[in-house]
Structure 1
């Protein structure tokens, strides 16, 4: 905001306002007196730069985001830990202590929530919770099959059911969006914005769409998680339970998860030689996910031309040929309950030199 202000510019402004015949050049008494004052004033201007992110917060405002949100009673969602049960098979009697860590092949840890003594040959089910909050711990069934450290007597472990309920901590961008939704969409007396606000207060919910149900007094709340992905049953049920504690008397509320409209993309690109194909695919997927998030819960279809533009705009891409979106070259319409999500992306690359030969 004050990038053009420097100690020298402040000094010159002060000198230009003086009406004196005394020497004001560098090394003079007046010059030496004004110099330190100009430096201190410069520091004040620099500190004023902190005001903009404090008052007009965005996702780059750092600690001021939480401070500004706290003024309105909005707290950052910390995320939740996924939970499931593991079946532990043993040889002989084994005591599995509370805090023992079972793992997936990728190293994700799940901690036992109780001490369990398993009698010889019987096996037992033990409740476990993820070491950390996060959706990445919502692992599929039969994937928790290892141990962080060996425990004599355990011959096998698996999770018969998928781990559920893990949600990511709210990002700066998500928290800012929730703040501005709170400010720009006044929530009163159980109106649509009130239901949106209640849904967004729930861990694991990053977006909500509210509409009237088929019956008088009924309300339907469609929710999505981070990146506009569908949420699992645990998040959906927790959201419904929370809204029940907030809603007006007489309203009938149904909470549903958005369904995924998976969009696959294939294309051949001519490489400009400024980026590797793997990096191009990664950046394309990221930008595609951002575009899908922007149009989720709107009437806008997934635009074939917009996807073509996104791919063409990736650094390292010179030309695009044979772009197919879900096997065709047309826009993809989302149903009322759908959000688009990135599916399989297959990009084949050829060098520019190869093409022109």
Structure 2
């Protein structure tokens, strides 16, 4: 997607009430030939000026809101509504006790609940487990909207209603796509994109349309002429790679949802494929000298947060290699270490090449060794395989 920046808001008059009062005093003094010159707090002239300035400031406040009001009223006429949030989607795998002599049916709308008992999901379609098999999968949608329904993998295991021979259910991938109430600015941005995207033509059109469906903060990458197998050149093909707003590759339910929603906007002869954006887990090792006076555990936490922020898939640019020196700069910029003595990425002190345009790096773990002013070395691991406490000095 091309680099862009949002348009600046239109402010018709930026003057505050205090500035209006100051300008009014100068004008009254000059126009009266310096005859009106008492602007003390109890002066009638000062009181009159302050009253008029208050009225003017109130008028400017509402005048400055006029551009936004006009845009919102225009969008209301076109039928745009604020998104109250989206429901998370997930793929569920159901298991039965033994192969049956007839297809085993799990009805559409069958309810399952996560381990906490707080989040319910309903199957989108009828699931038929064929004769001879003991499991089958079907997509499901959260009962309510909200990001809280983005539950982890293997967390949806409770069946709320008995069904003969049905022994269990689980989700092998996280539930994704649940979002909260849309901000007004996001509503306006989405609506204007939809007005522009009556038909999908360019790669940017496909990416914006997919991101509008997956929610604010999601990432889409459209590659033309790329077939379903990600290798074959195919005329008329558009392959969309998707990352949801929570920083995870889009799951099967989201891929199907985006493909279905965009199908009626395709040009004749276009084939649309959807796949998750791929992530490269990055493990780093860092040695450095601790800045005197900095708390050790706070330093560890700060460095890990900076590492995660730099490698956030939702903000890291697509099709850009991971450069060792830039990672090191991001860690040094935290101010908790005086210098980085040694840094490796995935076991090597070198850059990490990104293999294609639909792959992003993602923070997996950070092993740190920090030396304090007395020469004592402390170490810890954050992320994958993390120990909750640092191991102490070595």
Give TM-score scaled by structure 2 length.
Answer: 0.63
Aligned position for 1:31:
46
- Structure 1 stretch displaced more, 181-190 or 26-35: 181-190
Structure number with higher helix proportion: 1
Distance 1:144-1:207 versus aligned 2 partners, 3 A rule: closer
For residue 67 of structure 1, report the CA deviation from its aligned partner. Answer: 8.1
| Rounded Cα–Cα distance in structure 2 between residues aligned with 1:289 and 1:176 | 28
In 1, are the aligned partners of 2:29 and 2:36 still within 8 Å (CA)? Answer: no
Aligned position for 1:197:
208
For residue 230 of structure 1, report the CA deviation from its aligned partner. Answer: 1.3
For residue 321 of structure 1, report the CA deviation from its aligned partner. Answer: 2.1
| Rounded Cα–Cα distance in structure 2 between residues aligned with 1:330 and 1:218 | 36
Cα offsets for 1:310-347 (capped at 9, x unmatched): 10111423222221111112111112231221111223
- 361, 368, 371: which one pairs with 1:340? 361
In 2, are the aligned partners of 1:270 and 1:355 still within 8 Å (CA)? Answer: no
For residue 177 of structure 1, report the CA deviation from its aligned partner. Answer: 11
| Rounded Cα–Cα distance in structure 1 between residues aligned with 2:73 and 2:346 | 44
- Structure 1 stretch displaced more, 9-18 or 169-178: 169-178
Aligned position for 1:40:
55
Matched, 1:14 2:42: no
| Rounded Cα–Cα distance in structure 2 between residues aligned with 1:99 and 1:252 | 33
The 3-state SS of whatever aligns with 2:119 is: strand
| Rounded Cα–Cα distance in structure 1 between residues aligned with 2:270 and 2:338 | 56
Give TM-score scaled by structure 1 length.
Answer: 0.69
In 1, are the aligned partners of 2:281 and 2:363 still within 8 Å (CA)? Answer: yes
For residue 248 of structure 1, report the CA deviation from its aligned partner. Answer: 1.6
Aligned position for 2:273:
254
Q: What is the correspondence of 1:1-357 to structure 2 with a 5 Å cutoff? A: 1-2=14-15, 5-6=18-19, 8-20=21-33, 22-25=35-38, 26=40, 27-45=42-60, 54=68, 73=80, 76=83, 78-83=85-90, 84=92, 102-104=113-115, 107=116, 109-111=118-120, 129=142, 133-134=146-147, 137-141=150-154, 143-144=155-156, 159-162=169-172, 165-169=175-179, 175=186, 179=190, 182=193, 190-203=201-214, 206-213=218-225, 214-226=233-245, 228-272=247-291, 273-274=293-294, 276-290=298-312, 292-298=313-319, 300-336=320-356, 337-354=358-375
Distance 1:280-1:180 versus aligned 2 partners, 3 A rule: farther
Q: Which runs of 5+ in 2 are unaligned?
A: 1-13, 98-108, 124-135, 162-166, 226-232, 378-394
| Rounded Cα–Cα distance in structure 2 between residues aligned with 1:340 and 1:173 | 32
- Structure 1 stretch displaced more, 80-89 or 245-254: 80-89
| Rounded Cα–Cα distance in structure 2 between residues aligned with 1:289 and 1:65 | 36
| Rounded Cα–Cα distance in structure 2 between residues aligned with 1:198 and 1:302 | 28
The 3-state SS of whatever aligns with 1:109 is: coil
- Structure 1 stretch displaced more, 157-166 or 203-212: 157-166
| Rounded Cα–Cα distance in structure 1 between residues aligned with 2:290 and 2:20 | 49
For residue 146 of structure 1, report the CA deviation from its aligned partner. Answer: 7.4
In 2, are the aligned partners of 1:10 and 1:38 still within 8 Å (CA)? Answer: no
| Rounded Cα–Cα distance in structure 2 between residues aligned with 1:347 and 1:172 | 39
When the two chains are superposed, the root-mean-square deviation of aligned CA atoms in Å is 4.6
In 2, are the aligned partners of 1:80 and 1:168 still within 8 Å (CA)? Answer: yes
Cα offsets for 1:219-274 (capped at 9, x unmatched): 22222222553111111111112221221222112122111111122212333234
Alignment coverage as a number of residue pairs: 319
